[in-house]
Amino acid sequence: MRIPIDQDTRVLVLTGAGVSAESGVPTFRDAGGLWEGNRFEDVASPHAFARDPILVWRFYSQRRAGLDGIVPNAAHRAIAALEARLGDRFLLATQNVDGLHAAAGSQRMIELHGNLMTSRCSSCDRAPFEDRQVYRDKQVPVCGTCGGLIRPHIVWFGEPLDGRDLDRVDTFARDAGRHLVFVAIGTSGIVYPAAGIVDEARRAGGSTWLVNADRPANADRFDHVAIGKAGELVPALFGT
Ligand code: OAD
């Protein structure tokens, strides 16, 4: 199967943890939604950070360390190759914070949930900064400007996504109209607003495609469903 793409087609890709699975990054729900017995929601929230910043930094430090030596796979590369072919007629929105799309060469990209290798101050408005530090031994980094606690630059449960990012996705879908092809890859369709982008794509008049290892929660809302591994299916679907 190959997605029909002509000179008017505009492609909006949404990715989730499944696209990085073949690179060796564990997905959220395949791990049972648990880390060291804690639900993800209980370590990835402002409430958790206020209660136990050491625990939260231990979780994100492990995830940072886990990216050591991890490289993009065939699905990341196929997505970047499609962008190289389509230019401004392409947009990628990812829920992943692992930076693998950028490593594969994606540029027209929105990291809806932030980036694991970026931190920011939880108190002052100092700009987010690159931070590859792994914190161990009960360390919590402190802001050199205001003394507040530094936190991962991740959108946590209970926090809104950046409205500018959602506007960019909306505008791309609306402008594309019936020329829109929306492709969701490796995402369980549970976490909103990302899981609702398929509805926007349908409203805009586009066609909708899904690539996932199993049938996710929102599978019925897609026109075309391809079940299998992203690294095998995506290069064929994109013809890259
Ligand atoms: P999930 O872990 O919920 O879902 C990953 C999906 O990828 C599952 O449906 C798997 O079946 C599928 N999958 C696994 N391996 C695959 C492969 N090789 N090829 C294709 N599909 C595969 O991850 P997300 O949907 O990304 O939020 O989760 C959404 C958000 O919930 C995450 O961004 C995170 C999480 O809590 C935050 O951290 C804010």
- Longest Cα–Cα distance of the chain, Å, equals 55
Tell me the residue length of the chain.
240
Q: Is 116 in the pocket of ligand 1 (CB under 6 A)?
A: no
Closest CA to 211 of 71, 7, 21: 21
**Mean pLDDT across the chain, nearest whole number?**
95
pLDDT tens digits, residue range 192-201? 999 999 999 9
Comparing 15 with 38, the larger pLDDT belongs to 15
Counting Cα atoms < 13 Å in the Cβ hemisphere of 33 gives: 7
CA 125 – ligand 1 centroid, Å: 31
Facing residues of 209 across strands? Answer: 183, 224
- Residue 42's pLDDT is 87
CA-nearest residue, atom 39 of ligand 1: 156
34 contacts: CB under 8 Å, gap ≥ 6: 40
- Ligand 1 atom nearest to CA at 97: 33
All structural domains of the chain: 10-25+72-113+161-238 (3.40.50.1220), 29-66+119-154 (3.30.1600.10)
- Residue 31's pLDDT is 66
Active site residues: 113
Q: How confident is the model at residue 136 (pLDDT cuts 50, 70, 90)?
A: confident
pLDDT tens digits, residue range 151-167? 999 999 999 999 999 99
Q: What are the CA-CA distances from residue 227 to residues 19, 200, 222, 233 (Å)?
A: 13, 22, 12, 9
Query: How many Cβ atoms sit within 10 Å of the Cβ of residue 238?
Result: 20
Cβ(197)–Cβ(171) below 8 Å = no
DSSP at 35 = E
Distance CA 188, CA 213 (A): 9
> Tokens 């920011």 correspond to what residue?
120
Q: Strand, helix or coil at 131?
A: coil
CA-nearest residue, atom 30 of ligand 1: 191
- Ligand 1 atom nearest to CA at 194: 29
Q: What are the CA-CA distances from residue 230 to residues 20, 104, 210 (Å)?
A: 9, 15, 10
pLDDT over 90 percentage in the chain: 88
Mean pLDDT of the region 202-229: 96
Q: Could you tell which of 13, 19, 20, 27 is best to mutate to test the pocket of ligand 1, judged by most ligand atoms within 8 Å of the CB?
A: 27
- Ligand 1 atom nearest to CA at 156: 39
Mean pLDDT of the region 54-68: 94
- Residue 16: pLDDT over 80: yes
Can you give the pTM of this predicted structure?
0.95
- Residue 28's pLDDT is 81
Pair of tokens at residue 83: 């962008």
Distance CA 111, CA 114 (A): 5
Q: How confident is the model at residue 37 (pLDDT cuts 50, 70, 90)?
A: confident
